[in-house]
Chains A and B, each alone.
Chain A
Amino acid sequence: MSMFTPTYLAQQLINALNLGSLYALVAIGLTMVYGILRLINFAHGDMMTLGAYLALAGISALVLPAWAALVLPMLVIALVGVLIERLAYRPLRGAPEVAMLITSLAVSSLIQNGATMLLTAQPRPLRVPSALTQRIAFGDLSIAVMDLGIIALAAVLMVALGVFVKRTTIGIAMRACSENLRAAQLMGVDVNRVIVVAFAISAGLAGAAGVLWSSKFGLVDPFMGFVPGLKAFVAAVIGGIGSIPGAMLGGYLLGFAEVFFVAFAPPELSGYRDAFVFALLLIVLLVRPAGLLGRGEVNRA
């Protein structure tokens, strides 16, 4: 059985870490925004799409070096996130939560249809510099430089975020807002500022994930962010929505579950990977309704 050789296992482990890193990056943003505004941001996956298109433009039209083709989209998408909050969500502050949810659906279809109209629905190939597609051999195992890069970069971004949220005053304010928005205002916290920072980080991370995703899979299209966005939502809920460590954990768990399902289940079942992911969600929620690291709904009165 070649399935159980150490090489095959190690290969799947790398794949799982890769996919998990990407889900985690996207899930963090969803959970941050939900934590503060109780908004399930359906347009979050589309930040991936926009990031990927920017990377495509950066690499093929502007011939940017690889690092710039990652950093630039991150910054621009962070700004896009801030703009969307300002134009679409802020006017609805204080309205029922469902109004914001519907608005985020509208923003999502605006982006998807806008991209289709301007750029066609035709998937475009994204060619990364050849240095990134080279493979490094570890005995029988060979790993693409890019795969290692994705895993490492995601880890760096998450550690940086962790330090930011734990140590800085705005990070403390962010945690306070996600626990009790009204009380945070009474403490002199400028809630709008915290929300802007949350949207910037959230969109920036999703933009980065979009660049990495399209680099790994080689294609960019207007709808590419939808399924990963949905999966990231599942990851955030499994981890306990509102909890940043939960989103990270949920992202990696989902990556592992999906990759190992495809790797070890009978081949005729691998088409059901998404069904498997959602079944996993149902099981986790049956056992722990608030998610793995969730603490249940705090009183927001």
Chain B
Amino acid sequence: MLVLDNVHTYYGRIHALKGVSLSVERGEIVALIGGNGAGKTTTLLTISGLLRPKQGSITFEGQALTQHAPHQIVRLGVVHCPEGRQIFGRLSVLENLRLAAMHRRDGQAVRRDLERVYALFPVLAQRRNQAAGTLSGGEQQMLAIGRAIMSQPRLLLLDEPSLGLAPLIVESIFKVIATLRDEGVTILLVEQNAYQALQVADRAYVLETGRVILQGPARALAEDPAVKAAYLGG
């Protein structure tokens, strides 16, 4: 479904991705784990078009994503739920959700998706007219995922959905991730919380300083002594 081949991305002069190759098959949850600055977020930003690779190719269902503007990439079905949630704090909850569906022309399906988001996260329905900036951190993460659902993802790029959240909320967020997969959404998940990520994922890639250093089935990586030592706390 998604294939990255030898992708090099720079921030100015900083060589952030040094030839990343990876692939995601339809229906999978693939986790991207690694330490701070390993290039996980950069990889997602390069897929969604906010960063452009200097070299290498990114194809989604045979289409070269590097030819498309970020908003067109969303329309193709690649939806990026960014790190730090980045909800629009001055917009209401409902406006945030409407905005994410703005490019869609299928009004009926949009309304159905809105009901689905409200069913997944009832608190968002209660607060639909409240400014999103007044939500708690957990509620903001729910809104960020809800917003991504409104964009009708076929491939969802999820960046650090558990960051800074209480364990109970993390658990419910990961439940929703599993639900989405069951509904047919393919997911590329970036996590510092490697333990959680490897629990839910089918396969995983380990990034270090801009390179893929390990890859394989999530279960096998969770047992890998090097991964255990570096990312799972022994």
Contacts and interface: CB of A to CB of B under 8 A. Distances in A.
A175 B91 contact: yes
Interface string B152-169: 000000000000000000
Contacts of A169: 98-99, 102
Contacts of B98: 169, 172
Interface in A246-301: 295, 298
Interface in A138-166: none
B70 A179 contact: no
Nearest to A243: B90
A186 interface: yes
Interface in A49-65: none
A105 interface: no
A187 B102 contact: yes
B181 interface: no
Given A169-B98, A172-B102, A185 B71 contact: yes
Contacts, number: 71
Given A169-B99, A182-B82, A183-B82, 14 more contacts: A172-B98, A176-B95, A179-B88, A180-B86, A183-B86, A185-B49, A185-B69, A186-B48, A187-B100, A187-B151, A188-B102, A188-B151, A189-B99, A190-B103
A187 B90 contact: no
Main SS at interface, chain A: helix
Contacts of B103: 188-190
A180 B89 CA distance: 10
Contacts of A191: 71
B97 to A, nearest CB: 10
B102 A180 contact: no
B75 interface: yes
Interface string B77-88: 001111000111
Interface of A: 169, 172-173, 175-176, 179-180, 182-191, 295, 298
B188 interface: no
B50 interface: yes
B14 to A, nearest CB: 16
Contacts of A184: 88, 99
Nearest to A301: B84
B91 A187 contact: no
A185 B49 CA distance: 9
A188 B50 CA distance: 12
B71 A172 contact: no
B74 A188 contact: yes
B50 A187 contact: no
Contact of A186 (B50, B89, B91): B50
A95 to B, nearest CB: 13
A188 B48 contact: no
Contacts of A298: 89
Contacts of A295: 90
Contacts of A186: 48, 50, 70, 74, 79-82, 86
B40 interface: no
B203 interface: no
A179 B99 contact: no
Nearest to A182: B50
B211 interface: no
A175 B99 CA distance: 10
Given A190-B71, A191-B71, A183 B102 contact: no
B8 interface: no
12 contacts: A169-B102, A172-B91, A179-B89, A184-B88, A185-B49, A186-B74, A186-B80, A186-B81, A188-B75, A188-B79, A190-B71, A298-B89
B89 A187 contact: no
A172 B99 CA distance: 7
A173 B102 contact: yes
B50 A185 contact: yes
Nearest to A166: B95
A179 B133 CA distance: 12
A186 B144 CA distance: 11
